[in-house]
Amino acid sequence: VDEELTMDFVFAPPPASSVAVYGDTRRFPVRRIFCVGRNYAAHAREMGRDPEREPPFFFMKPADAVVDSGAVVPYPAQTENLHHEIELVVALKKGGANVTPEGARDLVFGYGVGIDLTRRDLQLQARDAGRPWDWGKGFDFSAPCAPLHRIEETGWLQSGRIWLSVDGVTRQDADISQLIWNVAEVISAISQSMRVEAGDLIFTGTPEGVGALAPGAEVRGGIDRLGEIALTIGPPASR
């Protein structure tokens, strides 16, 4: 070990956040989690907004909000309206700034199925008060993500069914071809504002049909060619 490169910390740094990789024992290290707001027209309308007039906008979750498929997610504190949002997740293997939509393809490691768990009551209070969305979006366990599928395996995804069910009842059922801003455009847009980096995950937005989850809910979702995600909503976490 090169002494010059050995860093001392005042306490042990936390373990890297990570997501499983399909068919690989190694995991994908998560650097940041970007999320796109209102990226399907019908969902923008159900949230009371006009989808035609908006350029893409973003919010973030902490990297350690990721949770593997199969987890029991404790019902979060300070909400009475926990919502599911099934989303196509894009994982980056390379960084870049000011990339074009064409160039963005070179940065993609692969895709996954994710759920943007949302404390909808806190998010809407914040939205309507002109405050940040963080408390509604970036809480513990708020970014479940199924194993990532490599782009070499899936090819460039342009379409495919995206769906979510709760206790066996379908709640969300759409197609990723309905994204207002597609994956390449989303990566390009983020990179105009800040560098994207290897390890970044991007939750690309949810279609219509978002709704509430109660403790005990069994949540399943999937995207064609990317497999499925499953979650159980547990009792409130004891803190």
What is the contact surface with Mn ion in residues (CB under 5 A)?
A: 85, 116, 206
In the bound state with Mn ion, the residue whose beta carbon lies nearer, of 69 and 206, is 206
**SS3 (DSSP) at 142:** coil
Q: In the complex, which residue's CB is closest to Mn ion?
A: 116
In whole angstroms, how large is the CA radius of gyration of the chain?
18
Least Å from the CB of residue 174 to Mn ion: 13
Nearer to Mn ion, 116 or 200 (CB): 116
For the bound state, the minimum distance from the C-beta of residue 173 to Mn ion, rounded and expressed in Å, comes to 16
The minimum distance between CB 55 and Mn ion, in angstroms, equals: 17
**What is the torsional sign of CA 98, 16, 21, 145?**
negative
Considering the complex, state which of residue 76 and residue 96 has its C-beta at the smaller distance from Mn ion: 76
Per the CB < 8 A criterion, the answer to whether 213 and 233 are in contact is yes
Residue 59: name the closest of 202, 207, 187 by CA. 202
Q: How far is the CB of 184 from Mn ion (least distance, A)?
A: 19
Of residues 67 and 96, the one with the C-beta less far from Mn ion: 67
Cα–Cα distance, 56 to 106 (Å, whole number) = 21
Q: Which residues in 127-157 are b (16+ Cβ under 10 Å) and which e?
A: beeeeebeebbbbbbbbbbbbbbbbeebeeb
Residue 106 DSSP class: G
CB of 16 to Mn ion, least distance (A): 24
Q: Using the minimum distance from each CB to Mn ion, give the nearer residue, 96 or 111.
A: 111
Q: What angle do CA 73, 77, 81 make, to 5 degrees?
A: 80
